[in-house]
Structures are given as structure tokens and as C-alpha cells.
Amino acid sequence: GLREVLITGGLAPITNRPVDEVYAATWARVREANQRYHARYPGDLDRLRTILRRLDEEDVRLPNGDRLTSRRFRQTGMWLGDSAGFERLHHLLELPFGSAAFMVDAQMASSWERNPIYATLHESSYADGGATRWSAHRLAPEEAMTGDLLGAEHVFPWMWDDYSGLRAHREVAQLLAQHPWPRLYDADRLARNEVPVAATVYVDDVYVERSFAEETARGVRGLRAWVTNEYAHNGLRADGERIVGRLLDMVRGRA
């Protein structure tokens, strides 16, 4: 069995919340992140709109041969949930459009195909009973599809067309999106949990809704939550030694 558990990247809902509630919340979070970004770099909005317009008008190819579409470029919003992501996105938008540096960085920014299982299974992690049916896509605001709203950790069915590295998994992704998943979590059993648990809850997490995470923390017996605004979702990568040390102290009763 487990002696102790550390959770460093947020807590998923365990109370049978429909997947659409999860993605409605994450779209609201990413909208806030977009607003914070443009408040920091107000000049970038015009740059972004120009890039999106040119990508709609021109056949721009990435170093791997994929076409860089405007919808793919909107996925650079994945950086908005990273502690250094605002700066990375700003540096990309400042690069000359079509330059070698721009193309390489744009390909790196939308790197779902590096982890095809992550892309293919991502929504299923929130399917606590029922099918996802491409929830993030169905709930996406119009400006995230055709405007200047950047998405974050949202998957879309068109990704298995636009990303050459995902095309081999297109059929699997479609099947999983329609699969009626059973309940993923036994809330009653978790309420009787006897294993010490410590978890981070990031206040400004763009990917994991804070209120749902805190709800989960209350539902797991023996779970101690560290609610902090010191880190973004990538806290473990940004300051792993401190985060793991703090969670170990919590789970072992030293903090």
C-alpha cells in the first residue's frame, strides 16, 4: 500500500462534476490570464492580431513541414499557465514574423505531438462518469476559435489533423472522446482515507480550477493542502526542492 502521498500539480474534482463544468471554469481562467498578459504587454495585442491574420491568409510552414494555422498559434496560450510563460510568449510575438527564430519557437510553443498520449488522454482525466465529447472544443468562446483569445490546456478534434505527429492517433482520440467512462473516483472511500496526503493548490492556476481543488481537498480524509500564490501550475519544475520539502514536512507533521 501507500505510506504517504504528495500531489504537486493540483487536485481533480472527485464529486462527479460534469466535465463541462471543468472546462467552463478553465476557459474563464484562461480569459483572465489573457487579460493579465495584455495588461502587462499592451502592445502585443496588435502584434497577435497581425500574426493571426497573416496565418489565415498565408501558407506558413513550420520546420517540421506542418502548416502553422491561426488556430494552432492560439495554442501558444499554453504558456500563460507557466511561471515564465508571459515572458516567453512576449519574446515570440516580438520576433519578426516568418523568421527562423519565430518558426522554431512557434513550433516549440505548440508541442502537443511531443507527448501524444497526453493530448489523446487529457480530457479523459476529467471524465468522472460519461463521455467528454470534446468538452473544451464545445465550450470554447467564439473569440478562442476565430478571434484573439489564446487557449491553454485545451484539446480540439482538429489537432489530429494540424499536428502531423498526432495523425496516427486520430481514430483513438475520436473513440476516447465518445467513450462513456465510469466513475473515476470513489468519493466515499476517499472520505475514509487513512493515508497521509499533502497537496499544492495554486491560487492562480490556469489549468486547475482552485475552487474545485479545494473542494477535493475537503473531501479526502487526511489531506493537507498548501494553498499558495507563489507558484504557477509548473511549481514543481520551477522550485521542486522547496515544494517537495514543504509537502514532506506537511505529510509528516512537521509543518
| Structure confidence by residue, pLDDT tens digits, 8-40 | 988 999 988 899 999 999 999 999 999 999 999
Question: 142 and 238: one domain?
Answer: no
Alpha-carbon gap, residue 131 to 138, rounded angstroms = 13
Q: Span 212-221, mean pLDDT?
A: 97
Domain count, the chain: 2
pLDDT number for residue 15 = 84
The pairing of beta strand 5-7 with beta strand 223-228: unpaired
Question: 35 and 10: one domain?
Answer: no
Question: 92 and 191: one domain?
Answer: no
Domain of 201? 5-14+185-251
pLDDT number for residue 164 = 95
- Residue 229's SS3 state is coil
- The gap between the terminal CA atoms of the chain, to the nearest Å, is 24
Q: What is the pTM of this model?
A: 0.93
Question: 171 and 99: one domain?
Answer: yes
Question: 168 and 228: one domain?
Answer: no
Alpha-carbon gap, residue 72 to 212, rounded angstroms = 29
- Cell reading at 53: 491574420
pLDDT number for residue 229 = 95
Over the stretch 44-57, which tens digit does the pLDDT of each residue have? 999 999 999 999 99
Residues whose CB is less than 8 angstroms from the CB of residue 27 and which lie 6 or more positions away in sequence, other chains included: 136, 139, 140, 141, 144, 154
Mean pLDDT of the chain, nearest integer: 96
- Residue 196's SS3 state is coil
